[in-house]
Amino acid sequence: MEEMAVVDVSEERRRRRRAGDPRLSAAGQEVLARITTGDLADEFQAALDADLEADPILGGHHHDAA
Amino acid sequence: MIVVDEYLAVRVVGGRWPEGLPDDEDLVLPAARHWRLLQRIHAPGDGQLSGLLATLSTTDRDTIRFPHPEVLGVADPRPLLDEAARLAARYGGTGWLTGETLAAGLTYGRALWFGTQRNVGRLLASAADDLGIAVHVVT
């Protein structure tokens, strides 16, 4: 009788989740890293805050900055 | 489900998993926060950030526009909307972003995960504390 390979589905899902989007190029990875943890993080946060100021439905009556 | 902010969403899409972020459940980004990411794509400003995003290929941009379901989900706003409106009113007109984020936190494990303290917001932090929602920041 042939043996069947046992695949840990949860571990495979975890591995794929941690690997990021497989469609993203290396150049795209670098851009996203600069936005979140690199030299553009301040500009990114300013843009997110500006969205709240510009749109009262999104940001409410009180701008919720940290 | 683990509720994340824009920073963690972008980091995870980019394959840079933050130390301390649990990896044993699916990640979900509230729709209002996905909306803010989409503004960077569709309504760019004139800064360096917008210029850099404009250089991304269509496929790269699609990773933010339509996140890969095995990597990041976007929360369906409809089941959260009534609770979001209730919470926004309760805490003084916080708006959709904070109301929906709090509603997502209540619905999915009473926890919220952020990639920077700057993106938490004072009103959200105060309301989360009042509601018994843990706010985690992983950098």
Tell me what pLDDT residue A64 has: 63
Q: Is the pLDDT of residue B22 over 80?
A: yes
With a pLDDT cut of 90, the percent of chain B lying above it is 88
- pTM greater than 0.90 (yes/no): yes
User: Residues near B47 by Cβ (< 8 Å), separated by ≥ 6?
Assistant: A43, A47
The second-level CATH assignment, the architecture, of B2-137 is 3-Layer(aba) Sandwich (3.40)
Tell me what pLDDT residue A62 has: 63
**Rounded distance between C-alpha atoms, residue B93 and residue B54, angstroms:** 34
A4–chain B nearest CA distance, Å: 25
Nearest to A64 among B47, B48, B124 (CB): B124
Nearest to A45 among B63, B99, B118 (CB): B118
